[in-house]
Structure 1
Amino acid sequence: MLARNALVRLSNRKVLQVQGVDAARFLQGIVTNDMKVLTKPQDAMYGAFLTTKGRVLGDCHIVQLENETYLLDYDESVEQELAKHWKRYKIRMKATLEDKTNEFTSVAALPALISGDDFSYLPVGDEVENLLQQNTREPSASTGVVYRDPRGVEFGVRAIIPSNHTLNLPESYQEASLPVYKDRRVLLGAAEGQELHDSIPLEASLELLHGVSFRKGCYVGQELVARTQFKGNVRKRFLPVAFIRSAEQDLVLELSQIPFQRLDAAGLTPLRKFLVTDGATHPFSIEHGTSIVRPDSTKSVASVISAGEGVPVAVAMVRLEHLLPKESGEVPSMQFATADGAYHVVPFQPTWWPAVDIKTGKMVL
């Protein structure tokens, strides 16, 4: 489905309404992003909730529905832990928390990312803007809210709408199952829900996904995030990786000679072709925790966080020292494999990545 437009009803997402004069203040004190960016209905942001030690409990989208009313869209796998977290910090706040999952549903409109003709990477910015214009509505409890996915245009258009409603989309958008959405976000290198549990926000690239503010005031777990950004280095990150069966010798040889680069680079045309043709038709099964090594070593350089279902890609925690150019200018080639040798592994840079400092592994502010 990477080469086709899709509409997915996100049945794994929960919807929480936070309402009241202290709603924004309550969220501001516990979320990694800055609530001040939400100034009017339909404004949306991405963020995460952390433990006091700065580890991720879960992530969410926060959308302003009306004045003093916000909807939180989050994965059901972290529902219990987040509920306990919210209850702990809501004391003496004039805000109500109400589950709205039975009234609202979350949906995602996903424009095609790869051309099925020449396998080029498709710019989707205009398509996303067109979808937003076609679904212009006054945000309310009766109509819901439609918004650009705050993580980046490649993630498409999101909506939290009444369960019996749908989006106004061109005929080319086919309704698809939940695994299609997972394949898309895994290709983009984004983890969600339980996949993020206990991770360090910057290693999970949450700040690159516009989910962390370094300019807001204090919030729960901020100390570790700030210390890492301003005083430390990020030595490993969540990245998308592709798996190619070792038996595909010609393709393996071609892709093993290229440097780490963005998925839209001309040099990765063979990979994009593989992902929408042979890669989308062959059985693929990679488990969480699968170790990725260099062929000449048994030492792990990466481990799988979450794998796609219809496309041979995964989000993996990768040590950046094996990908980024050395100070001498030497550029490492992508010679990686699963520990059992069954697959050649190609890490690639998401197209939404901003400038990242080679020496520190951190976003250039």
Structure 2
Amino acid sequence: MPPFTSYWRLRTPISTLSRHFHAALPRLLSSGPQQPSSSAVGPLACRLGSRSVVRFRGPDAAKFLQGLLTNDVRPLAVPALAAVGSDESSSHFPTPNVSLYHPPPIYAALLTPQGRFLYDLFLYRPPPADHKLDRTGSGPAKGDPHDPLTLLADVDAVVLDELLDCFNKYRLRSKVDIENVSKEFACWQRFGGDLSNAAPSTQEPEAASVGWGTGIDHAAESSAQGNSIGWKWCKDPRLDCLGYRGIFPSNTVPPLVESDKEADERHYLLCRLQQGVAEGSTEIPKGV
């Protein structure tokens, strides 16, 4: 048989086999079975073990952070009555577990004097007790209006000790206490399921139907977003598609977290990397 004849006989099956091999290559290289995306399986929630919580407490807390971070921290120090009016941060009516005003979290970074990246953090203001109703719902809860401002920071756990040393170095005479409260609080993320476009009545339909008539009870919707002591889910300040983020007591499970929807943190990592969002000093190199 002439050489060119055998070549043409083999060319077709070889090219077909090559196409099938390249089509199957991604499946062969994968470490396990293909998993559905988080948007397909619905809202997932995970406890972020890679993050820790730092508390800034004192009359100079906002002023101290304002002079160090890249974002404007002053909205977190605004009194509730002066800030009411924002659709995202104020509920329709105060409830025993959700205050009238809940400022959204602030994402900021701490830089070197030369303007290079060091650490990133999410800042939250815990809900004051006197901004909510008491357990009977008949009046404001008891709280000391003269308590110093308290802010909680969601930070990278890998560099926690370095971050604390850095803030304490800059504290000087500022009246602010800085301490690690990771044993008391934990960071959570709720993502997937097109949460950015979902209305509160869709997230918690039973809460929306509470009340009189056929209308939507907005106070019930607002209460469903928070736990029994006022800690609430907030929209991720970076991108809406990342869902909701929050700090909650470490001995409780946040609201709206179903038992079969609590996922491993790796699912959130995959969701975040698909959006091209880096987080923490591990993914954002220092000095950049």
Contact 2:227 2:255 in 1 (8 A): no
Relative to the length of structure 1, the TM-score reads: 0.47
Contact 1:8 1:175 in 2 (8 A): yes
Contact 1:48 1:58 in 2 (8 A): yes
Deviation digits for residues 269-325 of structure 1 (CA, Å, limit 9, x no counterpart): xxxxxxxxxxxxxxxxxxxxxxxxxxxxxxxxxxxxxxxxxxxxxxxxxxxxxxxxx
1:13 paired with 2:38, answer no
Deviation digits for residues 311-363 of structure 1 (CA, Å, limit 9, x no counterpart): xxxxxxxxxxxxxxxxxxxxxxxxxxxxxxxxxxxxxxxxxxxxxxxxxxxxx
Partner of 2:198: 126
* CA distance in 2: counterparts of 1:21 and 1:145, whole angstroms: 24
* CA distance in 1: counterparts of 2:188 and 2:201, whole angstroms: 17
* CA distance in 1: counterparts of 2:55 and 2:179, whole angstroms: 5
**Aligned AA (2:169):** R
Q: Secondary structure at the match of 2:166?
A: helix
Contact 1:134 1:169 in 2 (8 A): no
**RMSD across aligned positions (CA):** 2.5
1:190 paired with 2:277, answer yes
**Aligned AA (2:60):** D
* CA distance in 2: counterparts of 1:146 and 1:123, whole angstroms: 12
Shift of 1:156: 0.9
Mark the runs of 5 or more structure 2 residues left unpaired by the alignment: 1-36, 81-101, 129-147, 204-220
Alignment CA distance shift 1:137-1:85 (3 Å): same
Q: Secondary structure at the match of 1:176?
A: coil
Give aligned pairs, total. 189
Shift of 1:129: 8.1
1:135 paired with 2:207, answer no
Shift of 1:106: 0.8
* CA distance in 2: counterparts of 1:147 and 1:71, whole angstroms: 14
1:164 paired with 2:251, answer yes
Deviation digits for residues 179-231 of structure 1 (CA, Å, limit 9, x no counterpart): 1111111111111112113254xxxxxxxxxxxxxxxxxxxxxxxxxxxxxxx
Contact 1:128 1:157 in 2 (8 A): no
**Aligned AA (2:44):** A
Shift of 1:135: 3.5
Contact 1:10 1:106 in 2 (8 A): yes
Contact 1:57 1:78 in 2 (8 A): no
**Aligned AA (1:169):** L
**Quick one: higher RCO (CA 8 Å, sep 6+), 1 or 2?**
2
Q: Secondary structure at the match of 1:14?
A: strand
Alignment CA distance shift 1:59-1:174 (3 Å): same
* CA distance in 1: counterparts of 2:240 and 2:52, whole angstroms: 22
* CA distance in 2: counterparts of 1:189 and 1:81, whole angstroms: 26
* CA distance in 2: counterparts of 1:186 and 1:126, whole angstroms: 22
Q: Secondary structure at the match of 1:182?
A: helix
From 137, 140, 163, the equivalent of 1:82 is 163
Q: Secondary structure at the match of 1:88?
A: helix
Contact 2:55 2:181 in 1 (8 A): yes
**Aligned AA (1:99):** N
Identity of aligned residues (%): 31
* CA distance in 2: counterparts of 1:192 and 1:32, whole angstroms: 16
Shift of 1:55: 1.1
Alignment CA distance shift 1:35-1:196 (3 Å): same
* CA distance in 2: counterparts of 1:128 and 1:182, whole angstroms: 25
Partner of 1:25: 63
Q: Secondary structure at the match of 1:78?
A: helix
* CA distance in 1: counterparts of 2:70 and 2:200, whole angstroms: 26
Shift of 1:12: 1.3
Partner of 2:152: 71
Contact 2:45 2:257 in 1 (8 A): no
* CA distance in 1: counterparts of 2:258 and 2:163, whole angstroms: 38
Alignment CA distance shift 1:87-1:138 (3 Å): same
* CA distance in 1: counterparts of 2:112 and 2:254, whole angstroms: 36
* CA distance in 2: counterparts of 1:19 and 1:51, whole angstroms: 23
Segment drifting more, 173-182 vs 25-34: 173-182
Contact 1:42 1:145 in 2 (8 A): no
Tell which structure's C-alpha radius of gyration is larger.
2
Contact 1:58 1:192 in 2 (8 A): no
**Aligned AA (1:88):** K
Q: How does 1:31-180 map to 2 (within 5 A)?
A: 31-38=69-76, 39=78, 40=80, 41-65=102-126, 66=128, 68-112=149-193, 122=194, 124-127=196-199, 133=222, 135-137=224-226, 143-169=230-256, 171=258, 174-180=261-267
Deviation digits for residues 143-185 of structure 1 (CA, Å, limit 9, x no counterpart): 5343211112211111211112112227596110011111111
Alignment CA distance shift 1:10-1:130 (3 Å): farther
Mark the runs of 5 or more structure 1 residues left unpaired by the alignment: 113-121, 201-365
Q: Secondary structure at the match of 1:179?
A: helix
